[in-house]
Structure 1
């Protein structure tokens, strides 16, 4: 075990804050489980003891975990909870899954840095996450952290810097970044890393992150390597070319690379997961420190604007709207979009696989309908309908794409260098008819239930490791993600025989079963499956 079970004679009798008694401890290291009692005081694990029946230890609160697993709280390595935790700090969809820390700022989106002169473009980019808008009272990580902690959150946030916002802050929406601009980006990135950001993320299919060339990325990753921080990338090109680019970047700069939401979205390449993983394996053998994350679903979700031809998106949302107001340009865009999407438009459209998940009433588009059906009802082609939705709704219009196969996802899940991330946000259960991707409500429970217990793709200790200790190590978190004396008391108590997700694409806002108790920074935020009023979460800093 990563911890040592200490006999009762070593224990000094004193009242602790919390005792979790009689559970099977899976400590997050990947080692074998062992029965034990976990004692918590002042927000940290003080001791892990051999279990006693009845317990001889005194505690203000005692949790009987008999027949249940006690594990570190899950750390979701890929989320978009930057804004959602400000709108509703309960973080219900994640707390009920046992998630105690959210890694935010992914895919080039983050709520900082912000510059007043470019605030409109900053907020337009942030809308791509899919949340209701907020009015920032901050410009940097320190200010954002103050706002979040003042509002009160039930879980922790580990923030990354979004490259899209970094670029807007220094270059606006300009396509080319020269030496001076890249220098300004590196300087601003360094300031945010000094404030404790865990790294940088890119969203290389989104404007303006997509404009970054290899020289720009190498310069930024060199800065990250100097701080020992993470580079998380939403790939520029789908699949194989993106994997090769990320591996090369890691080898050349020495930066720690995290390849985000690994998937194969091209129908012609479905079933080739092993070949894609070989690129990462070869990269590691060549000296790149590269790993991946995956979420356990065969569909993705994002802003609809992501799928437009690059030239349509140039200049941001306002420029796009003006451009598409020209009938000739609109006709050209419709023709190109109809031919396909992705790098070079290589991926053919299956409009019956594209579901509108959020429209905010734009063009009276029905949420939950496919683009194919909604376009037919409107009497226009799916490509024209998509362009009109993007012109009117900008980045607010969100879709779910059923462009993956489970075989590939399961192959990725089993690989030793993949971690579990949801690519979802911490959301309330009440969504007023909206249908977010079910990953926000069920990803971690789904891994434990379907892919561990039911299908046997992972051993339970391995599944927990991919959600806890392995993620903490990747982030550089030294006092979370494992159960040991003096670690921060982020824990989850769950039933390995019943844990399962219930969120579906049509009815996503449903809690999982089997997650009973969740502790964040030593405080119970889920007790017996019922969320408490506690808001002990913090914005964590990398030091």
Structure 2
């Protein structure tokens, strides 16, 4: 038989969790036609000698809702082996939409997911009203990877309740019925799930709570019931489980998660992170998740690949100098000009003696956590590190800027000031906020290996000025399977399975995630020995000249979507075989 593509001579990790085996992979008409020793001719042969061959990665937690409207490549995720991206997470999105509410949804996405409002205003278009209309517009574009959508709680609430919804008022019985109906319609139009957010870290660009943050249990049950009405879908939830209200509030909040699971009758996933205010809360979440599953509820946790951290620098959204009036007076100037000013001895001396101002508060999307960090900077500097090339995402405390300051005999802020000026002001500081309370990733490894854990939380497309975690899929392989030196590693075949078959099955995607005849030919060919992450860098490629952190990868010989190479030798091709997936359609 004649084939379109043969991937020849690689070590196949097929996504089932079995150890790698040497085989060729044959592709015809976008599907895997054969696996084994293949002698048939092919139009294209990809040399996989010395490489591993895996299914394409399924990233279940991205925020490409905006970027998908203007960027066909969906980079950087497409450069990290991702062939299917699930967006519409955390309750924020762009549909349904009443004409005139565009700025409200822009402020919501800008505040929660830190995507510049000017980029969204110029790039999104907003040529829809219903969720189905939104899917139609997305479906008109070709992309490098396949896209999966979820209907999001916040715009749904705004559409039904208007100003009452934005103000966080309790939904009436009629409001809940209307949201349920619209959510079911969205699911029938092709959405794969529903998402909602209940964390006080998420604020709009105006510093106000997100519309659905304090929604009642009745509202959440009504929303989840749309899954039962439509007969398919998942529910994704982010919550801090009322951490600020103390440990006694936890169980009442988790009870709401169980109500969601019962009302929807479909799988629910909740974000799982370790937070400093309650460094063992994650264990309580896992205890409740285990109990829920024992009671017959389908419940999972989404876990990260490393510490959830921010990059601090003179070109990023946040850095410690922003709390000083002298810096705020110059922070809009070009980088080179700021660096010259900051190197001036008199300016430096004056700034370091100034009293800090608050960054959070009314009309500010900056969370109170930022001010809490500055108030206890000596302590938190123990978790601030120079981000080198290649970056170390599990650095020891001894490498922290706290010890840099001690060795120099200066204050922590003075040391941070000087580090930010390194490399002509392009130096980045890595600050893992979540999952690093004990200064390593041992607790995170326990979360990752829990039976109900899903690999997610990359936030691809979001937090563009502080975070660059779309590289999670690559990091899972390099750090956890190959390079980790501060604790146990994890088997490569298991890491592949977790971010291919397991994620695909959770989302109801049964045509991908495993390399087997008949399955969709979404495939990675990876030079595992050479695979590495470079340091993130600032690029100016968003609409309206916006900037973002960008981190590529080295070691991807090829990434194929439906049998077409979208990446060859770490570079994107012109192929755009990705499509919008609609639940319930072939």
| Fold match (TM-score > 0.5) | yes
RMSD (CA atoms): 3.3
| Cα deviation code 1:104-141 (max 9, x no counterpart) | 00011122111225333233223333332133112234
* Distance change in 2, residues 1:246/1:152 (3 Å): same
Which residue number corresponds to residue 214 of structure 2? 211
- 1:35-74 to structure 2, matched below 5 A, reads 35-48=22-35, 50-51=36-37, 56-74=39-57
What TM-score, normalized to structure 1? Answer: 0.76
What displacement does 1:257 show?
Answer: 0.2
* Distance change in 2, residues 1:391/1:216 (3 Å): closer
Q: Distance in 2 between matches of 1:215 and 1:444?
A: 37
Which residue number corresponds to residue 386 of structure 2? none
Q: Distance in 2 between matches of 1:506 and 1:531?
A: 19
Q: Distance in 2 between matches of 1:244 and 1:423?
A: 27
Matched, 1:180 2:174: yes
- 1:13-28 to structure 2, matched below 5 A, reads 13-14=1-2, 16-28=3-15
- 1:16-415 to structure 2, matched below 5 A, reads 16-48=3-35, 50-51=36-37, 56-128=39-111, 129-131=113-115, 132-133=119-120, 134-174=124-164, 175-205=169-199, 206=202, 207-226=210-229, 227-235=231-239, 237=241, 241=251, 243=254, 245-251=256-262, 253-260=264-271, 262-265=272-275, 267-270=276-279, 273-300=282-309, 365=331, 381-383=356-358, 385-387=359-361, 390=364, 402-404=432-434, 405=436, 406-415=441-450
What displacement does 1:533 show?
Answer: 0.9
Q: Distance in 1 between matches of 2:21 and 2:498?
A: 19
* Distance change in 2, residues 1:264/1:493 (3 Å): same
What displacement does 1:467 show?
Answer: 0.6
Contact (CA 8 Å) 2:102, 2:126: kept in 1 or not?
A: no
* Distance change in 2, residues 1:18/1:495 (3 Å): same
* Match of residue 510, structure 1, among 551, 554, 559: 551
Matched, 1:526 2:571: no
Q: Distance in 1 between matches of 2:222 and 2:457?
A: 29
What displacement does 1:223 show?
Answer: 1.9
Matched, 1:537 2:578: yes
Q: Distance in 2 between matches of 1:378 and 1:488?
A: 61
* Distance change in 2, residues 1:506/1:150 (3 Å): closer
Gap runs ≥5 in structure 1: 1-12, 303-351, 394-398
Q: 2:134 aligns to what SS in structure 1?
A: helix
* Match of residue 503, structure 2, among 441, 453, 471: 471
What displacement does 1:379 show?
Answer: 5.9
| Cα deviation code 1:161-196 (max 9, x no counterpart) | 110011111112421210000000011111101111
Q: 2:433 aligns to what SS in structure 1?
A: coil
Contact (CA 8 Å) 2:59, 2:456: kept in 1 or not?
A: yes
What displacement does 1:47 show?
Answer: 2.1
| Cα deviation code 1:250-291 (max 9, x no counterpart) | 24542310113x1022x2432564444222112211222011
Contact (CA 8 Å) 2:8, 2:49: kept in 1 or not?
A: yes
Q: 1:96 aligns to what SS in structure 2?
A: helix
Which residue number corresponds to residue 389 of structure 2? none
What displacement does 1:505 show?
Answer: 8.7
Q: Distance in 1 between matches of 2:572 and 2:536?
A: 22
* Distance change in 2, residues 1:378/1:279 (3 Å): farther
Q: 2:260 aligns to what SS in structure 1?
A: helix
Contact (CA 8 Å) 1:445, 1:501: kept in 2 or not?
A: yes
Q: 1:169 aligns to what SS in structure 2?
A: helix
Q: Distance in 2 between matches of 1:85 and 1:198?
A: 17
Deviation larger for 223-232 or 243-252: 243-252
Q: Distance in 1 between matches of 2:332 and 2:254?
A: 36
Q: Distance in 2 between matches of 1:382 and 1:482?
A: 53
What displacement does 1:29 show?
Answer: 2.0
Gap runs ≥5 in structure 2: 203-209, 244-249, 312-317, 339-347, 368-372, 374-429, 540-548
Q: Distance in 2 between matches of 1:451 and 1:506?
A: 26
Q: Distance in 1 between matches of 2:533 and 2:455?
A: 15
What displacement does 1:391 show?
Answer: 7.5
Q: Distance in 1 between matches of 2:468 and 2:255?
A: 30
Q: Distance in 2 between matches of 1:272 and 1:176?
A: 28
Q: Distance in 1 between matches of 2:68 and 2:114?
A: 13
